[in-house]
């Protein structure tokens, strides 16, 4: 049978794909970011109607019109286990249908091997002339499809076809194709605040020419990325390939010529941005996408000399413990790859790790210092004090590595907002951090 005929025979509606390939009690990989929303909605509707029970979904930070807040999604019907949360996951957690799995992204392949999903529901490009579909720039999808017994592909024409280690799948390996009208997901660029721009300046000043770097998401990452236009011969090894990275690579500032691990090309886990960014990575062999268990592997990160890691935190205590994923008891995002890149960068020859945190948070109760004596009750420690290095606010950058507690406390107070420094100093002396 020609692949064209097989492709035609396997093409069906979302509801038929769910009916034919999903059974009671199945574990279902649903990916994240760019998701097969039409097929997932058909799955959820089928479960709500009582035709499927005992489903467990596995994914992260879904983007799309997906509702996990319906009262029909009781525990015996469906539970969605996520390992990194966004708005959809936070709303579902409040309703009780979404739960959180703590995990460093470097362990994602092992997690999927443990789950052994019955079905993977993922977006893919249309097949090429040889019958191969591509999963696009999504670093968690390779492990999901690798261990799934069946794959339902939702064909997404706008999805960029990228170079990668496990990003092509032949139509003979796919159980069903759903032809949706869903556009590829975009992530509008965040505008950096005045504070974030100042933080970015402190970080950019400490990044040398020829460095290899990693960025996260948001306004600060954009400010750092575009601030690197003053540098030369940069390289990329990053969980996320950002819009700023695409711009710098187009301009020749990123040329990956001095990388000591996989030189000559940017290596990343995922990309989520603008059409211009997707156009740049589509069919571009100089941008290579790899599974999270590869791109977040500490030994691979540290293999790059002068590795620079830039991430965010929500708050930090005076000993250096980072809370980067929860606000008190409320799970906000996830561990992600922060610890992976802190370790990889600090173990790299000439490497540096930066944690950016604005000095204050504006809350319902008023302004609060993000540098605190102790973390709020319920706050999750994402990164350990023994491993953090540079901490940066809009008031400066301090290096905590190998410092004792009194020195750490004094350094952190020096970059706290001036309005809170006296109180922090008084309390630090009261508990014995400073004496």
Determine whether 239 is an active site residue.
Answer: yes
| CB-facing half-sphere around the CA of 196: CA atoms within 13 A | 20
Domains 3-179 and 194-431 share a fold: yes
Mean pLDDT to the nearest integer, 71-97: 91
Residue 1: pLDDT band by 50, 70, 90 thresholds?
low
* pLDDT tens digits along 257-307: 999 999 999 999 999 888 999 999 999 999 999 999 999 999 999 999 999
Residue 157: pLDDT band by 50, 70, 90 thresholds?
confident
- Tokens read off for 305: 């000399």
- What letters, b where the CB count within 10 A reaches 16 and e where it falls short, cover 209-223? ebbbbbbbbbbbbbb
- Tokens read off for 435: 């004496």
What pLDDT, on the 0 to 100 scale, is given for residue 71? Answer: 87
Q: What is the pTM of this model?
A: 0.94
CB 152 within 8 Å of CB 178? yes
Residue 335: pLDDT band by 50, 70, 90 thresholds?
confident
Residue 140: pLDDT band by 50, 70, 90 thresholds?
confident
- Tokens read off for 96: 């009780």
- Tokens read off for 372: 């605190």
* pLDDT tens digits along 222-246: 899 999 999 999 999 999 999 999 9
The alpha carbon dihedral of 332, 333, 335, 338 has a sign of negative
Of the ranges 66-75, 153-162, 315-324, 426-435, which one carries the lowest mean pLDDT score? Answer: 66-75
What pLDDT, on the 0 to 100 scale, is given for residue 33? Answer: 85
Which residues, 6+ apart, have CB-to-CB distance to 418 below 8 Å? 395
Strand arrangement of the beta sheet that strand 322-323 belongs to: 322-323, 315-317, 371-372
Residue 65: pLDDT band by 50, 70, 90 thresholds?
confident
Rounded to 5°, angle at Cα 153 from 69 and 150: 90
Domain residue limits, the chain: 3-179, 194-431
Distance CA 179, CA 322 (A): 44
Catalytic residue among 239, 243, 293, 394: 239
Query: Percentage of the chain with pLDDT > 90?
Result: 81
Domain 3-179 CATH superfamily: Glutaconate Coenzyme A-transferase (3.40.1080.10)
Regarding the domain delimited by 194-431, which CATH topology (the fold level of the hierarchy) does it fall under? Glutaconate Coenzyme A-transferase (3.40.1080)
Distance CA 71, CA 81 (A): 17
> Three-class SS string for 237-281?
EEEECCHHHHHHHHCCCECCCCCCCCCCCEEEEECCCCHHHHHHH
């Amino acid at each position: 049978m020609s692949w064209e005929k097989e492709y035609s025979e396997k093409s069906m509606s979302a509801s038929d794909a769910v009916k034919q390939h999903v059974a009671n009690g199945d574990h279902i990989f649903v990916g994240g970011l760019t998701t097969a929303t039409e097929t997932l909605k058909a799955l959820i509707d089928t479960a709500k109607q009582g035709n499927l029970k005992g489903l467990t979904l596995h994914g992260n930070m879904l983007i799309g019109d997906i509702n996990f807040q319906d009262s029909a999604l009781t525990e015996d019907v469906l539970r969605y286990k996520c390992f990194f949360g966004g708005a959809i996951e936070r709303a579902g957690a409040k309703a009780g249908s979404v739960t959180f799995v703590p995990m460093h992204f470097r362990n994602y392949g092992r997690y999927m091997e443990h789950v052994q999903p019955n079905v993977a529901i993922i977006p893919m490009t249309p097949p090429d002339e040889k019958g191969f579909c591509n999963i696009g720039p999504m670093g968690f999808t390779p492990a999901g499809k690798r261990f799934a017994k069946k794959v339902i592909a939702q064909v997404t024409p706008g999805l960029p076809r990228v170079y990668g280690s496990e990003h092509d799948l032949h139509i003979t390996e796919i159980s069903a194709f759903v032809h949706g009208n869903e556009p590829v997901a975009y992530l509008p660029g965040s505008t950096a605040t005045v504070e974030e721009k100042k933080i970015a300046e402190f970080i950019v000043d400490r990044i040398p020419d020829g460095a290899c770097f990693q960025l996260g998401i948001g306004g600060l990452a954009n400010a750092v990325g575009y601030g690197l236009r003053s540098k030369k011969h940069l390289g990329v090894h990053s969980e996320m390939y950002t819009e700023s990275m695409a711009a710098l690579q187009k301009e020749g500032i990123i040329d990956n010529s001095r990388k000591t691990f996989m030189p000559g090309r940017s290596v990343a886990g995922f990309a989520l941005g603008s059409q211009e960014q997707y156009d740049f990575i589509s069919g571009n062999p100089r941008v290579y996408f790899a599974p999270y268990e590869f791109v977040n592997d500490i030994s691979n990160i540290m293999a790059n000399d002068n590795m620079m890691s830039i991430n965010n935190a929500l708050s930090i205590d005076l000993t250096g413990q980072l809370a980067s994923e929860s606000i008190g008891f409320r799970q906000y995002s996830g561990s992600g790859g922060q610890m992976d890149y802190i370790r990889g960068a600090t173990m790299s020859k000439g490497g540096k790790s930066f944690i950016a945190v604005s000095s204050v948070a504006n809350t319902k109760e008023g302004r609060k210092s993000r540098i605190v004596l102790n973390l709020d009750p319920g706050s999750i420690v994402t990164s350990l004090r023994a491993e953090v290095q540079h901490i940066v606010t809009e008031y400066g950058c301090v290096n905590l590595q190998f410092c004792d507690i009194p020195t750490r406390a004094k350094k952190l107070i020096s970059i706290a907002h001036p309005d809170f420094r006296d109180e922090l100093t008084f309390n630090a002396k009261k508990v014995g951090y400073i004496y």
